[in-house]
Structure 1
Amino acid sequence: MINSKEKYAQMIKTQAKNLGFDFCGIAKAEFLEDEAPKLEAWLNQNYHGQMAYLANHFDKRLDPTKLVDGAKTVVSLIYNYFPESTLPESPSDLKIAKYAYGKDYHFVIKDKLNTLLQNLQEEIGEIGGRAFVDSAPVMERQWAQKAGLGWTGKNSLLLNKKMGSFFFLAELIIDLEVAPDLPMTIDYCGTCTKCVDACPTDAIVGSGVVDGSRCISYFTIELKEQIPYEVKGKFENWIFGCDICQDVCPWNRFSKPHQEAEFLPHPDLQQMKRKDWEEITAETFNRVFQKSAVKRTKLEGLIRNIDFVKK
């Protein structure tokens, strides 16, 4: 006979699937004891660079009960963003990370998470909880692994056997006790080092450990000052984010195009050639990236990145 905790788990997974999430896993909300020394060591190495926010809220990052009163369960979800076709088609054109082709994922997925929580409240009754989409101190990859959704690849991203890594992670932390899934304990990367070998700035410094301050995504999005000259010529035309370590990953041969209309690129973005990027105006920037994650760099930041990859 199914007990209430198992019933709730089934209910959550059904609702998540109906909302378009590809996978849903459940873990008990508890202190991430194994992660504390790893996080501390990573911060002590200054691998977060100028991302000072990653050093904040150390305790909250490791303990979901400090984020949600009475938290009992962390629901981890996967949402696909792999596009049908990659921009640009010509290798000489400038590139932005695939996750930024369409509307900013924070808005798209947060709405779905809030709907999921509301639906559960209607079905089960009063549930306290919060939705998280890369927007608070939550160790999302660790929770997803704990919930059985995948393992941590050498590039530090969560890898899923059925769909690789081109997906967003999101969490619902709730005060309802739900039957947990078994954690993923096997590393299916084996001896493969394709991501490590392909990274032009040598940002992958250990298995599952990335020096964030050497990552192209960091230089093109997080860094607010001039990009250091020592990495000149190493960006391979990436001007917002970078997908190199994902593009070479053998597990991403299982990626299938997403079905989310909000993630489709702006028509003008699909037509942009190198010359269009190099001559970009405020008007074009605001029109094409009005609802895009690319707005994070602001126009000045994007122009800085474009200038940096000029030969």
Structure 2
Amino acid sequence: MGLSERIEERARRLGFDLVGVASAHPPREHVRAYRDWVARGDHGGMAYMARPDRIARREDPSIILPGARSVVCVAVNYCPAPPPPPANDRPRGRISNYAWRQDYHDWMLPRLVELAAFIRAEVGGGVRHQAYVDTGPVLERAFAAQAGLGFIGKNTCLIHPRLGSWLFLGEVLVDVDLPRAGQTIPPRCGICTRCLQACPTGALAAPYRLDARRCISYLTIEHKGPIPPNLRPLLGEWIYGCDICQEVCPWQRFARPTAVSAFQVVSLGHAAPPLLDLMTLDEEGFRRRFQGSPILRIGRERLLRNVAVALGNVGGPQAVPALATALTDPSPLVRDHAAWALAQIGGPEAARVLDIAREREADPSVRRALVVALEEVAAR
């Protein structure tokens, strides 16, 4: 058994479904596409993506790991089985299925470190490495495609012909040449544009181009400020991430449920939690509920911002008391979005609580939001 086969065997024993090796030099077309993406401003408020030092690292991994020669790329299937069907008793939010259970960083990184130790022992000598799980300045999809783990689809996701795109990616940079056994997989989207047509916000501006400023995943996770009012109705019930452009992809018919118990859903509350329950969470309750989940990273303020938008879209009159309480939240961001949500619901009770909040509100931006909300309710 050759070295590449031994590395693959070890990776699979660690729980990874796919493994391959790429050169530590990203393909020029991917570097060019990344530069164009930044130049257009498609990265939105993720300023770190456009920092010259970060761009340089993505173009030349030897800045990260001096002497980097190879990138060991892995993927693990996280496709969960469908959750139990919801009861039509109360409004529920939608969470991207990658965040239904354990934070994947906590599952993958220790295994990548163990894989790096195996490679060091197999090669011998002082092999240096650097492991990443989507947290480092590397073009991980480009490397994964180069390593034969799949092709990049028009929805910008890595797609494997037999697994679909429900894949977590990880990389180990090493400063030795490793044999590359796998073949690259050519793009197989053909004339299909289902993902572009299905995106509610038009974030897929063209095939292979994602404008993060309109992406529901970006708006509910990475974006820290107010969600643009014109996009709020388009978010629907999504409160953390979005799966639409992957759900509609024909290649997903080959996806199979993950074998990793840490990513398997055990209750409807993980996938579609009741919105009214979330709207009442205090800081301690938020941390307790989402401990060990990727959702913990965005903090209570952003989550409740998202929940308020979802309630404005699907909550109805039963959401008015919780949103009225949210108008007294310490966070101006939460109060702003609660005012918008009440305007969408409308009715005398919504108008009453908005008027009370307007009288006491000291923050100028929130006060303006309350005035606009009252005007919208009155216009109906």
Find out whether 1:229 has 2:229 as its counterpart. Answer: yes
The TM-score, its normalising length taken from structure 1, stands at 0.92
Deviation at 1:87, TM superposition (A): 7.2
Deviation at 1:81, TM superposition (A): 1.0
Deviation at 1:88, TM superposition (A): 6.8
- The SS at the match of 2:311 is coil
CA contact (8 A) 2:147 2:184 kept: yes
CA contact (8 A) 1:232 1:308 kept: yes
Deviation at 1:63, TM superposition (A): 1.7
Corresponding position of 1:18: 13
Corresponding position of 1:212: 212
Q: Which amino acid aligns with 1:22?
A: D
Deviation at 1:95, TM superposition (A): 0.6
How far apart, CA to CA, are the structure 1 residues paired with 2:98 and 2:12? 21
Corresponding position of 1:288: 289
Corresponding position of 1:278: 279
Q: What are the Cα deviations for residues 44-92 of structure 1, in whole angstroms up to 9, with x where unaligned?
A: 1000000011112111102222221211111111111111224773685
| Larger proportion of helix | 2
Change (3 A) 1:201 1:22: same
Change (3 A) 1:31 1:21: closer
- The SS at the match of 1:188 is coil
- For structure 1, which segment, 104-113 or 30-39, has the greater mean C-alpha deviation from structure 2 after superposition? 30-39
How far apart, CA to CA, are the structure 2 residues paired with 1:209 and 1:249? 16
Find out whether 1:55 has 2:54 as its counterpart. Answer: no
- The SS at the match of 1:234 is helix
Change (3 A) 1:228 1:137: same
How far apart, CA to CA, are the structure 1 residues paired with 2:85 and 2:141? 29
Q: What are the Cα deviations for residues 220-270 of structure 1, in whole angstroms up to 9, with x where unaligned?
A: 011111100010210120000100111111111111111222224575834
Q: Which amino acid aligns with 1:130?
A: Q
Which of the pair has more CA radius of gyration? 2
Corresponding position of 2:62: 65
Corresponding position of 1:137: 137
User: Which consecutive residues of structure 2, in runs of 5 or more, have no partner in the other structure?
Assistant: 313-380
- The SS at the match of 1:230 is coil
How far apart, CA to CA, are the structure 2 residues paired with 1:47 and 1:192? 23
Find out whether 1:76 has 2:51 as its counterpart. Answer: no
How far apart, CA to CA, are the structure 2 residues paired with 1:114 and 1:258? 22
User: Which consecutive residues of structure 1, in runs of 5 or more, have no partner in the other structure?
Assistant: none
Change (3 A) 1:14 1:182: closer
Please provide the CA RMSD for this pair: 2.0
CA contact (8 A) 1:87 1:95 kept: no
Corresponding position of 2:338: none
Greater relative contact order structure (CA < 8 Å, 6+ sep): 1
Aligned pairs (5 A) from 1:136-175: 136-175=136-175
How many residue pairs are counted as aligned between the two chains? 306
Q: Which amino acid aligns with 1:204?
A: L
CA contact (8 A) 1:83 1:258 kept: yes
How far apart, CA to CA, are the structure 1 residues paired with 2:15 and 2:267? 24
Q: Which amino acid aligns with 1:276?
A: D
How far apart, CA to CA, are the structure 2 residues paired with 1:64 and 1:90? 50
CA contact (8 A) 1:27 1:181 kept: no
How far apart, CA to CA, are the structure 2 residues paired with 1:247 and 1:212? 19
CA contact (8 A) 1:140 1:169 kept: yes
Deviation at 1:10, TM superposition (A): 1.2
Change (3 A) 1:76 1:246: same
Corresponding position of 1:45: 40
Deviation at 1:199, TM superposition (A): 0.3
Change (3 A) 1:114 1:87: farther
Deviation at 1:278, TM superposition (A): 3.0
